[in-house]
Structure 1
Amino acid sequence: MRRAPAALVVFHRAPRDASLAERFCAELEAQAGVPVGFCSLDAPIKPRATHIVPLLFHEGRHLREDIPRIAEELRAQVVAPLPADVVARVAAESVERHTGRRKPSLWVVHDWQTAEALVEALYAHTRRFSWPALAAMRGAPAVADVLRVFRRDGASEVVVQPIAACRAWHEEEVARAAAAVGIAAQVLPGLVENEAFIAALAAHLRKEVGGDSD
């Protein structure tokens, strides 16, 4: 008997606040019209599902190796991640919605080397801002170096949008780097708290999992 569609969102790491992931999945389920659960890459036991939804934004080893392994274990299909252009658009709109386009603004990816498509899309979507920059938690340009340039050029504060599921994963390191150079950093929520991201992913799931042809 064919199993009813069910999606399993796979986080890179387990969210520190499980209720955040629960709210995200509940909203995603309501909009996508299919049951949605979640786990992290390193979770020892993963819920059964027909479709694996990697909440990963870089083209690294996890997407190439770990996600296919999980899918094989669960005998599930892998749903392709949202296109980089969609993620970049949502991230740019998040900053614009919170602070407009004129303040110093920084978008942070996790690993520069595995974020080529995302970085290219971010450059395209952030050109309309007056004072934009991109940085990485790993690799160059490093967050600390970019914040130092902002401060050198006269900025006293910067708005930071992490390209990550949860803000907490980047917030502490950004705060330390900002304090070291004497600049105030406002770190915006991660993508699981972003209504536009949830709506885009839900539409993607309706098409890939629920058979929505629109």
Structure 2
Amino acid sequence: MDHNAPAGSGLLRRIALTVLTTVAVSVGITLISNGAQSQTPPPQPGAAQAFAAQDDTPNPTPTRPGVPAITVLPPSVPTEVRIPSIRLDAPVTGLDLRQDGHLDAPPDDERNLAGWYRGGTAPGAVGTAILAGHVDTRQGSAVFYNLGALKKGAAVEVDRQDGRTALFTIDAIEVYAAKDFPNNKVYGPASRPELRLITCGGGFDKKRQQYLGNVVVYAHLTGARL
């Protein structure tokens, strides 16, 4: 965990740095000490929403026979993310790495705000784009509180500065303990436009006042509109 972060802040923390611009980040801490028991825990994904054992990869062959290839979008800054199935509609802010290698977090006082790692891939361009957000803050549930309730096949829409909306389809939703976080699987390079949505999950340690892991949503580009 980020030991410089106050308990309950929901700050993002780094797991590891890999080659090139691939950054492994995790979302840490949340649920304030006097609110952990009264607040309903965030939903966690079931086994049915994970990748099948024979298809445990977020980046399969970019195209399949008989399936039209998706037009890849040029890089452009994301401005808003929507997930209709969980009624999520939030602006997106850019996030940078601090000098200590940790990823900055969206402000705690803006609960409905997602963060994009702008040193990496833009949503819709080839590669792995990262959107991270708080599951909750001292004020209550936050932007990515309901990620664990998502289902395979659900739609994710990301508006961009160029006026296009990148349309993604969810491939899987998985939850990992912090000690077992699969950096390469989550943050590794992709040969097609991929998207990851990341927040806290995996149970809550009341004594240490932090989550035990992360919920990760895997999605790939399936269309675009103006």
Q: Which has the higher strand share?
A: 2
Higher helix share goes to which structure?
1
TM-score range, shorter chain: under 0.3
TM-score by length of 2: 0.24
